Structure 1
């Protein structure tokens, strides 16, 4: 199956250029881009340059959706993913400040194909971090009960229900006896702020938890955030501690994929990383 890569872009052409170069080097066969509209006149030059870059892609078929207004990242992702997954069984999603290691597309599409009909698996990702990666993987991927928002892929079947507000999904988890702080005490606060702050990822986390779904992670990260700066102003406060060490080559596609079961160290590692600082 052809799995499109969906790019969400706003006003940073310098970062988008790096993202597109990495996708080109990885041989991505189909690109769908959502270009968010400017919030004010100050955003117009950046948005204009971003759209020019997207329209100039010639190394694969490209479909560019230029939003007439600014939705913000959360609404843009949920709307864009829903629209793409209405047309395709599966897709991979990348924001404009993420760069993938060569081989990541092949790795993720192989995982999407292998687990396509397994309801226990709800997503795959190219990202992990030493703070939350279990020991002793020996180059094998692993399953986490917490989903990911940095270079991730999913299927139409797993995305259904993502139109609910995050706080509602969290409350459904609590009603079923699911520990809503399983992956960190910050999760309920983030769910409460998801609407006002236009966040989407916490709803994706709770969507997995509500269904007991799993996210497949690689043994080491296959992507990195390019929006860091010395003050960390392009990311949330304290996020620089999530910068990865230099990326290593992509591991080979496994001959035998793991049986879907969450690694027992995942939740404790997340709580230590989030609550331990």
Structure 2
């Protein structure tokens, strides 16, 4: 049975409609159970758009949950995923600002099945950075210490290992060596987690990534991305800019046959390329473009 698709939406009806259209082109769409969680409006001005989103959601599935008040994305995802994963033991998760390519569901389901019993794998990601495949590398995917929140999946036993409260924060906040190790997955990792702990953001993803790091686990990513993010711009909640440093190689062949390596291990060349995307220099360049709205 395919993993259930769990979609999180808010106040962007056009975005949810586009996601719906791209998902419907996937061969496993009809066979998949679908759940949509719609967050509540923050003010009266958003009510009409939220109602429009609910209307579109009901065309996707009858399994629609509408929050009575605004929870924020972090709380919505934690609660929604927990509800569905407790029933199905695995999930595929999407947000409304994403578009899927036609082999996204095939890739996600095959990877979830293939790596289910590999305890080193914490999550499956449909999004992959623009990574050059090393000479002689086997398989269509690579490992990363940093998971992606743009079209991903996991299993119940991994989800239950996430420490959402960050119980060891006191130790981490005073341990520079541990902070440096965490930042090997990106120079922004510790500062994002610190931002959550100090109330400057409500990110669920940075807490998920920290648990993945702390447990010594990895996420699986494709060299050819099966997902893209169209949520950049002034209406976006978290990405208010047109430029994105997260470049991808799009899967144009749209094959439903994938090569997975059961003995997959981290590759130092790939890890170096991943770190470059999250380096201080690239982040600074991205920040300048955000300030200049370019």
Q: What SS does the aligned partner of 1:106 have? A: helix
| Contact persistence 1:169–1:207 (CA under 8 A) | no
> How many residues of Structure 1 are paired with residues of Structure 2 in the alignment?
273
1:260 aligns with one of 250, 255, 264: 264
Shift of 1:244: 3.5
* 1:127 corresponding residue in structure 2: 127
For the residues of structure 1 that align with 2:212 and 2:85, how far apart are their CA atoms?
17
* 1:215 corresponding residue in structure 2: 219
For the residues of structure 2 that align with 1:213 and 1:170, how far apart are their CA atoms?
22
Offset from partner CA, 1:231-256 (integer Å, 9 cap, x none):
98861558522244555233443355
| Contact persistence 2:19–2:96 (CA under 8 A) | yes
- Structure 1 moving runs of 4+ over 6 Å: 230-234
| Contact persistence 2:163–2:211 (CA under 8 A) | no
For the residues of structure 1 that align with 2:205 and 2:238, how far apart are their CA atoms?
17
For the residues of structure 2 that align with 1:245 and 1:46, how far apart are their CA atoms?
33
| Contact persistence 2:141–2:221 (CA under 8 A) | yes
Q: What SS does the aligned partner of 1:91 have? A: strand
- 1:201 matched to 2:229? The reply is no
Call closer, same or farther: CA 1:89–1:21 in 2, change over 3 Å.
Answer: same
For the residues of structure 2 that align with 1:170 and 1:263, how far apart are their CA atoms?
32
* 1:49 corresponding residue in structure 2: 52
Call closer, same or farther: CA 1:230–1:69 in 2, change over 3 Å.
Answer: closer
Offset from partner CA, 1:2-39 (integer Å, 9 cap, x none):
31010000000001001011111113221111000001
Unaligned runs of 5+ in 1: none
TM-score normalised over the length of structure 1: 0.88
- 1:273 matched to 2:250? The reply is no
| Contact persistence 2:143–2:220 (CA under 8 A) | yes
TM-score normalised over the length of structure 2: 0.83
| Contact persistence 2:97–2:229 (CA under 8 A) | yes
Alignment RMSD (CA, Å): 2.8
* 2:285 corresponding residue in structure 1: none
Unaligned runs of 5+ in 2: 283-294
